[in-house]
Structure formats: structure tokens, C-alpha cells
Amino acid sequence: MSAFSKIKEKLFGISSGYSEYPEEDYVEIDTKKDVGKRSKILVKPFIIEEFADIKETLDALREGYTIALINIRPLKDKDVIELKRAVNKIKKTCDAIEGDIAGFGEDWIVVTPSFAHIYRTTDTEEVAEK
């Protein structure tokens, strides 16, 4: 026990909780325990060719363990109105999960769960509701 801990214990009656014998204070870690597949974050690409393709993306985002990289180029080339509808739906889901969303260039959108934030430069832009 350090001198400071002894003084604190004498003055305030507060024990540091540390033993003079560190071999008695340990936590055993089970290294064979399965922590499951949900212990890691998945960065997953998605391609949106039509509005119905956003379902898989939205499901992955709602689980909370996926950072979605979404290629919107195929839908953009096909139908701009459907693209706006899809982006609005993705944005609403992002807001619901308290995530972050930004566009990269003209063809990509990134969406993150609530624990992640997207660094913004001049190459990234806030995705606005259309």
C-alpha cells in the first residue's frame, strides 16, 4: 500500500481496495469463451439498382453492427425519382438509429451506426432530405 493510500485511509476512512499482495487481486479471463459474431463491426458494401434493394441495407443498419457503403450509381442512371425516394428512406432510418450519413463523390453514400461519426472534408457532403 502506498503512503498516499495509507494517509487517505487514516484521514477519510477510505481504503484504496488494493492489496499489498497483488497475486491475490486478479480476474480470470476465459480465453475459450465464444464472444459471438456481433462483437465486431462489419463494413459492408451495398449496390442499389432499384428501390427494393434498400431493404437489405436498412436491415443491416437496424442491427447496429454495420457500416454501410452504398453504391447508388445504378439507380441514379436508371431513375432519379426512385433514387431520391431510396435516399430519403435510408436517411430516415439513419436518423432513427441516431447514426451518421454522408455522400462520397456522386455515386457513394456511407451510413454508420450511432457510435461512429463520419469525418467530413470538402469531398464529403451532408445528405439532405430531398
**DSSP strands (E only) in the chain:** 42-47, 66-71, 100-104, 108-112, 124-126
For the stretch 12-42, pLDDT in tens is 665 555 555 555 555 565 555 555 555 688 9
Most confident of 4-13, 16-25, 43-52: 43-52
Task: Specify whether the CB–CB gap between 25 and 32 falls below 8 A.
Answer: no
Dist CA 76 CA 40 (whole Å): 32
pLDDT of 105: 85
Average pLDDT rounded to a whole number, residues 71-97? 94
**Is the alpha carbon torsion for 16, 17, 23, 29 positive or negative?**
negative
pTM: 0.64
Statement: residue 62 has pLDDT above 90 = yes
Please give the class, per CATH, of domain 37-126: alpha beta
Exposed e or buried b for every residue in 49-84, given b needs 16+ CB within 10 A? eeeebbeebbebbeeeebbbbbebbebbeeeeebbe
